[in-house]
């Protein structure tokens, strides 16, 4: 399955929740007026886009409709796809040009952080990067063993110490190993943390100090893993982590299991944090680099088979 088809399949529930409803709603209008925009805004909110982002999108659409002299309500569909793609563009590329570069992966327990690291390692290895993992989640039982399983699947090295060890020491050892082995990318797992847990945030700060001291000129990404099924709660998490940990990007997991994929828009619009990757399944190659155009196209592509299936369910 190609990259676009994976994204499209992963967004099926969100597409049915939002864009199929939108398509039917637009067919019920004979002209573009404020009633249409009010219904559109409501549909966007129901798709977990968020109130402020839904309002922002509708304001942009009003401007485009006026500027282009658009009269047909059905033209709003393609206009919305265009607007969403424009809003999501910018910053989605990983900045890992130095050797080695560092990717620090953070997030609360249960969001798929460890599996995301394994899939990211596999993807980077496939791109020709030599990856090494730092098993710096020494707090959670079995975290090191789980990461080792994913390191084996991805075919990359991993550095670890015993459970309960100092995570910053693990990162230090991994940096030393990366320098001697010529690794391109270091991916650091960290303990699942909440921004309110001071000891864990202090631990993260210590890890960052080690990285900055040992690799002062290295490119560094701080990626927050979020579970897409949490919807707007994910936006709140991202806001708090942005303030506490200086995150540079989002990895949105479990997109295939939710109708709340519209949260991607809220994260970019409200917080100006780019989405770097999306998870659309359980397989090793189901973590995909985020592409704004593909995401918008997959979200709003009208699928006759899906529309027919939906109509049957509603009868």
CA distance 281 to 102: 25
- Comparing CA positions, the residue from 136, 133, 165 lying closest to residue 150 is 133
Question: What would the pLDDT profile of 244-296 be if each residue is shown by its tens digit?
Answer: 778 999 998 887 766 677 788 888 998 899 999 988 777 788 888 898 998 88
Tokens at residue 57, please? 């999108």
Binding region? 107-114, 189-193, 253-256
SS (H, E, C) the chain: CCHHHHHHHHCHHHHHHCHHHHHHHHHCCCCCCHHHHHHHHHHHHHCCCCHHHHHHHHHHHHHHHHHHCCCCCCHHHHHHHHHHHHHHCCCCCCCCCCCCEEEEEECCCCCCHHHHHHHHHHHHHHCCCCEEEEEECCCCCCHHHHHHHHHHHHCCEEECCCCCCCHHHHHHHHHHHHHHHCCCEEEEEECCCCCCCHHHHHHHHHHHHHHHHHCCCCCEEEEEEEEHHHCHHHHHHHHHHHHHHCCCEEEEECHHHCCCCCHHHHHHHHHCCCEEEEECCCCCCCEEECCHHHHHHHHHCCCHHHHHHHHHHHC
pLDDT of 266 reads 87
Summary mean pLDDT of the chain: 87
- Average pLDDT (187-208) is 81
Exposure of 267 in the CB half-sphere (CA atoms within 13 A): 36
pLDDT of 312 reads 57
Question: Looking only at Cα atoms, what is the longest distance across the chain?
Answer: 68
pLDDT of 139 reads 85
pLDDT of 315 reads 52
CATH number corresponding to 101-292: 3.40.50.300
Computed on alpha carbons and rounded to an integer, the radius of gyration of the chain in Å comes to 21
Q: Which residue has the higher pLDDT, 201 or 165?
A: 165
Extents of the domains making up the chain: 3-90+298-314, 101-292
Question: What would the pLDDT profile of 211-236 be if each residue is shown by its tens digit?
Answer: 999 999 999 999 999 888 777 778 88
The residues that bridge with 88 in the sheet, in sequence order, are: none
Binding region for GTP? 107-114, 189-193, 253-256
The domain defined by 3-90+298-314 folds into: 1.20.120
Question: What would the pLDDT profile of 47-85 be if each residue is shown by its tens digit?
Answer: 788 899 999 999 999 999 999 999 999 999 899 999 999
């Amino acid at each position: 399955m190609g990259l676009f088809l994976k994204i499209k399949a992963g967004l099926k529930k969100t597409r049915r929740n939002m864009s199929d409803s939108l398509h039917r709603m637009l067919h019920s209008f004979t002209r573009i007026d404020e009633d249409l925009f009010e219904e559109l805004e409501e549909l966007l909110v129901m798709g977990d886009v968020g109130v402020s982002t839904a309002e922002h999108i509708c304001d942009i659409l009003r401007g485009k409709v006026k500027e282009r002299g658009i009269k047909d309500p059905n033209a709003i569909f393609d206009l919305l796809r265009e607007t969403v793609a424009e809003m999501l563009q910018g910053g989605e590329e990983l900045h890992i040009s130095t050797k080695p570069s560092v990717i620090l992966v953070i997030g609360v327990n249960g969001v798929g952080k460890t599996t995301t690291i394994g899939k990211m390692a596999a993807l980077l290895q496939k791109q020709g990067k030599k990856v090494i993992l730092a098993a710096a989640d020494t707090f959670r039982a079995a975290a090191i063993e789980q990461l080792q399983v994913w390191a084996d699947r991805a075919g990359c090295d991993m550095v670890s110490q015993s459970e309960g060890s100092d995570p910053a020491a693990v990162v230090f050892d991994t940096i030393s190993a990366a320098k001697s082995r010529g690794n391109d990318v270091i991916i650091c797992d960290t303990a699942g943390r909440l921004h309110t847990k001071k000891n864990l945030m202090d631990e993260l700060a210590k890890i960052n100090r080690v990285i900055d001291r040992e690799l002062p000129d290295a490119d560094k990404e701080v990626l927050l893993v979020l579970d897409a099924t949490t919807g707007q709660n994910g936006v709140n998490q991202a806001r708090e982590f942005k303030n506490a940990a200086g995150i540079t990007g989002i990895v949105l997991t479990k997109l295939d299991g939710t109708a709340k994929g519209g949260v991607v828009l809220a994260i970019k619009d409200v917080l100006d944090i780019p989405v770097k990757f999306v998870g659309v399944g359980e397989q090793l190659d189901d973590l995909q680099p985020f592409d704004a155009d593909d995401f918008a196209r997959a979200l709003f592509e009208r699928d006759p088979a899906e529309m027919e299936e939906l109509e049957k369910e509603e009868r």
